[in-house]
Amino acid sequence: MKKVYIETNGCAVLRHETYRIAEYIEANDFEEVDNPNEADYIIFTGCGVTCDYEDFAINTIKKLYDANKDHAKLIVSGCIPSIAAKRIKEISNDIVLITNNDMPKDFDTVFYNKRNFDEIHHNIDPKKHHSDTAEYGRLNDETIKDYKFAKGIDEITGHTRSVDQFNYSTAGRYLWQKEDLFEIRVSYGCFGKCSYCATKIAIGEMKSVDEQTILEQAKTAKEMGFNRLMLMGDEIGFWEDNGKNIVDLINDLLKINPDFKIGIRYIYPDILARYYEGFRPLFANGSIYYFCSAFQSGSERILRLMNRNPNLEPFVECMSDMAKNNYPVFRHTQIIVGFPTETDVDILKTIKALQRCSFDYITITPFSKRKGTKAYELPELPSEVIEERMAVLNDWFELNRSNKIYKTLRDEYIEEKEFTKVLK
């Protein structure tokens, strides 16, 4: 039996596709191994969303090639083949590149034996295959203190919400460490035309998965005893099938199992605001327990340069309403710092928007100049300016994170005397 080693440095969506590759390999009678030196084939799915991620992917490809270049065939897939094909081929012309759009056809050419790639849906075990590219689990002294505090509260009250709040507010670790998570891919690609996004070059235009395929996977989740679903896609808010939208889809999933807790990764701010009245009861009763919606900047001027909707106010008002009503939903966003021509005033506008939105977790990323995008032609800010602004945003986030954790615990779970006891 031929052996295959698989690794990724990808985002949540690419990780999902990587698990799918692993399931496909097994379905076609190949054995997955944990050591690339034992493999006949090595598959690496790579992310190139920023220069740092691209560099990490290229270094990983080189490491994998050097580890087994005389034995295994190295296949590189994901977004990185469309973004950095020249750099990959500089390592070796023997490396096989498979783009996102060509996955079904090209993987079937190499591995097909019993089942086609398009027949495979892989939904569980989101921890597998991932390279150590990020700071998941790296906690400073202040964060460790917060964790001990949250754990102490849970021990007193018998709840788990305290540690849940900590995890959602700390390095995004929570999502792929949960063992009860069942992922369903509901869309591919994106309608957006953001001026900075190299990923769009790799993933292409938006395509919805048909509802029947999604519902069949949800039925499998119910049969297997999963209550937590994560709807996956590069932009799932634009999902549609036979006149139905994303809210209709979620309501149909809840007809299969009213106890499903549903996460959304990812949804565009405009779409969330457009369907907010439909989402509201699902937020209020906890049927939607998590979403990630990246608004990137609070500055209208910067949003125009990003080729995004400059009117962020409807989205901010929705987030403010959720915070005011204390809906039990963990809210995640993404921010770009240092976009060309950004000023201190633009950063202040972003912080003000963040304050009103009350997110549980914020991914803060420095601007990365990417070839093939419109933003590539704009003049870059000095690196020291970007570093200073990153430090300001990170300091603000750390303070916001701690305040949110402590407020959640004070308001919802403990009496004053118990709070004082844990603090000691």
The token pair that represents 13 in the structure block: 């969506």
Q: pLDDT digit string (tens) for 94-116?
A: 999 999 889 999 999 999 999 99
Most confident of 9-13, 71-75, 125-129, 164-168: 71-75
Which residue, of 85, 119, 153, is where some domain finishes?
119
pLDDT level of residue 134 (50, 70, 90 thresholds): very low
Which residue, of 363, 381, 399, is where some domain finishes?
381
Identify the pLDDT of residue 136.
34
CATH number of the domain within which 72 lies? 3.40.50.12160
The domain in which residue 57 lies consists of 3-119
Residue 415 pLDDT > 80: no
CATH number of the domain within which 247 lies? 3.80.30.20
Is the backbone peptide bond immediately before 327 cis, with ω within 30 degrees of 0?
no
Section 58-85 average pLDDT = 92
Distance CA 124, CA 128 (A): 9
215 and 353 inside one domain: yes
Identify the pLDDT of residue 414.
52
58 and 187 inside one domain: no
Identify the pLDDT of residue 131.
60
pLDDT level of residue 416 (50, 70, 90 thresholds): very low
Section 407-414 average pLDDT = 61
Tell me, yes or no, whether 331 lies in a domain.
yes
68 and 188 inside one domain: no
Which residue, of 92, 119, 146, is where some domain finishes?
119
Tell me, yes or no, whether 356 lies in a domain.
yes
The arrangement of strands across the sheet holding 3-8 comes to: 31-32, 3-8, 41-46, 73-78, 96-97
103 and 212 inside one domain: no
Section 128-152 average pLDDT = 61
229 and 83 inside one domain: no
217 and 319 inside one domain: yes
Identify the pLDDT of residue 347.
95
Contact yes or no for 64/92 (Cβ under 8 A):
no
pLDDT level of residue 50 (50, 70, 90 thresholds): confident
Q: What is the DSSP pairing of strand 330-337 with strand 361-366?
A: parallel
End-to-end CA distance of the chain: 59
Distance CA 89, CA 76 (A): 11
Tell me, yes or no, whether 293 lies in a domain.
yes
107 and 189 inside one domain: no
The helix-helix angle for 276-284 and 313-324 (nearest 10°) equals 20
202 and 330 inside one domain: yes
Tell me, yes or no, whether 275 lies in a domain.
yes
Tell me, yes or no, whether 90 lies in a domain.
yes
Residue 318 pLDDT > 90: yes
230 and 321 inside one domain: yes
Q: pLDDT digit string (tens) for 366-380?
A: 999 988 899 999 999
Tell me, yes or no, whether 56 lies in a domain.
yes
Residue 304 pLDDT > 70: yes
189 and 331 inside one domain: yes
Mean pLDDT of the chain: 87
Number of domains in the chain: 2
Residue 164 pLDDT > 80: no
Section 321-349 average pLDDT = 94
Q: What is the DSSP pairing of strand 31-32 with strand 181-185?
A: unpaired
Tell me, yes or no, whether 175 lies in a domain.
no
Tell me, yes or no, whether 252 lies in a domain.
yes
The token pair that represents 87 in the structure block: 């750099």
289 and 207 inside one domain: yes
pLDDT level of residue 163 (50, 70, 90 thresholds): confident
219 and 98 inside one domain: no
Residue 275 pLDDT > 90: yes
Q: Whole-prediction pTM value?
A: 0.84
Percent of the chain whose predicted confidence (pLDDT) is above 70: 87
